[in-house]
């Protein structure tokens, strides 16, 4: 089955005698012993969560999946599954929530080297004898750097290390890291999977059901950071339209990227769909679309960037991304004093509004700075 068909039909298990078209929400926290599905307690397993995991595993081409209560919980589960004293190589511009998980929660437990993952020589130089995990975000957040998944997979294999890829920005619609050599794919399902800025969640997909995956599953079930049944249901419902939403996001993002590229008040544009992007060729070789996030740097510094954001009407000034509405944010303002993000950089999660309306709103906002 093609992606669109799988997204609608996979994981939709109908066991109700009334034969509803969609799987009902199972809110029970416990189950009678000796039931056919082997359910025991909803932290260990719930029909809606298992359906969501089956669906996302299919879309990413993996054998197994584990859903969590947030994207941070999903990523942190990978770090928890590592043996103490492991060394991690991760992006220097990665999502700050998982950056903090690595550097704060696991301080004294693991070692971390933050490097430019788009620079393969920098990645190789960072390797230590105890390197056990390569973590990639591509496109990265918020600079939209592109890492070569195939080549980093080779480096990880030579090191006999695990290779995990955060695929939140691209989604399986545009990129399949497992097919490119990754061992694990991570998503903040709060973003494009949910698609409407109203569900918190995260999910991991594994290429193989191996010993390391068993540790991740133990973290999920024993740690208990699992999503509620209703959230799993709503995520599965939203994923049914994922392919079509992502095409709209990417189409609008390209329109805005080209607009920013020629705007006299914009200093720099970050979007891998543009041929001037340093990672464009790599992205074109491993992605089928370039996603719905665009970052740009405003001339005049952070004050000009703040004035631009305040003058907008259709763009919501908020954290997060992946919703149907366009969301805009000056990232350095929320990432803290140690951020490497330029202070004048604005990240735009381009929504599904008509692009003409978005451009009109940008025109009037730029005219005021």
Active site residues: 43, 95, 166, 191
Measured CA to CA, the distance from residue 117 to residue 104 in angstroms comes to 21
Tokens of 217: 């599953």
The conformation of residue 10, written as its DSSP 8-state character, comes to T
Task: Report CA 98 to chain centroid distance, whole Å.
Answer: 11
SS3 148: coil
Q: Are 76 and 20 in contact (CB under 8 A)?
A: no
SS3 221: helix
Return the beta strands (E) in the chain as ranges: 64-68, 87-91, 111-115, 131-137, 162-166, 184-187, 202-206, 266-270, 293-298, 316-317, 327-330, 345-349
SS3 13: coil
Triad 180, 181, 186: Cα angle to 5°: 90
SS3 103: helix
What residues have CB less than 8 Å from 275, skipping those under 6 apart? none
Measured CA to CA, the distance from residue 81 to residue 67 in angstroms comes to 15
């Amino acid at each position: 089955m093609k992606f669109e068909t799988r997204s609608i039909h996979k994981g939709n298990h109908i066991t109700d005698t009334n034969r509803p078209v969609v799987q009902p929400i199972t809110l029970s926290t416990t189950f009678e012993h000796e039931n056919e599905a082997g359910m025991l307690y909803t932290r260990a397993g719930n029909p809606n969560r298992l359906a969501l995991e089956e669906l996302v595993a299919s879309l990413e081409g993996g054998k197994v999946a584990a859903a969590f209560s947030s994207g941070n919980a999903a990523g942190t589960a990978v770090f928890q599954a590592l043996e103490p004293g492991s060394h991690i190589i991760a992006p220097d511009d990665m999502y700050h929530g998982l950056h903090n998980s690595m550097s704060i929660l696991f301080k004294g437990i693991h070692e971390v080297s933050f490097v430019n993952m788009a620079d393969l020589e920098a990645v190789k130089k960072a390797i230590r004898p105890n390197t056990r995990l390569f973590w990639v975000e591509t496109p990265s957040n918020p600079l939209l750097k592109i890492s070569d998944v195939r080549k980093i997979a080779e480096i990880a294999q030579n090191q006999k290390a695990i290779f995990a890829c955060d695929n939140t920005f691209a989604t399986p619609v545009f990129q399949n890291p497992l097919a490119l050599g990754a061992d694990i794919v991570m998503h903040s399902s709060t973003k494009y999977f949910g698609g409407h800025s109203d569900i918190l969640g995260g999910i991991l997909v594994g290429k193989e059901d191996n010993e390391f995956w068993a540790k991740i599953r133990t973290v999920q079930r024993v740690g208990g950071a699992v999503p509620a049944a209703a959230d799993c249901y709503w995520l599965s419902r939203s994923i049914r339209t994922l392919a079509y939403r992502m095409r709209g996001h990417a189409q609008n993002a390209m329109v805005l990227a080209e607009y920013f590229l020629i705007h006299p008040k914009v200093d720099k544009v970050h979007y891998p769909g543009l041929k001037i992007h340093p990672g464009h060729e790599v992205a074109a070789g491993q992605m089928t679309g370039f996603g719905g996030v665009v970052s740009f740097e405003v001339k005049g510094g952070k004050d000009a960037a703040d004035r631009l954001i305040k003058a907008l009407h259709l763009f919501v000034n908020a954290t997060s991304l992946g919703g149907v509405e366009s969301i805009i944010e000056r990232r350095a303002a929320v990432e803290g004093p140690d951020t490497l993000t330029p202070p004048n950089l604005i990240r735009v999660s381009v929504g599904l509004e008509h692009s003409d309306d978005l451009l009109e709103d940008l025109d009037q906002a730029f005219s005021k700075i």
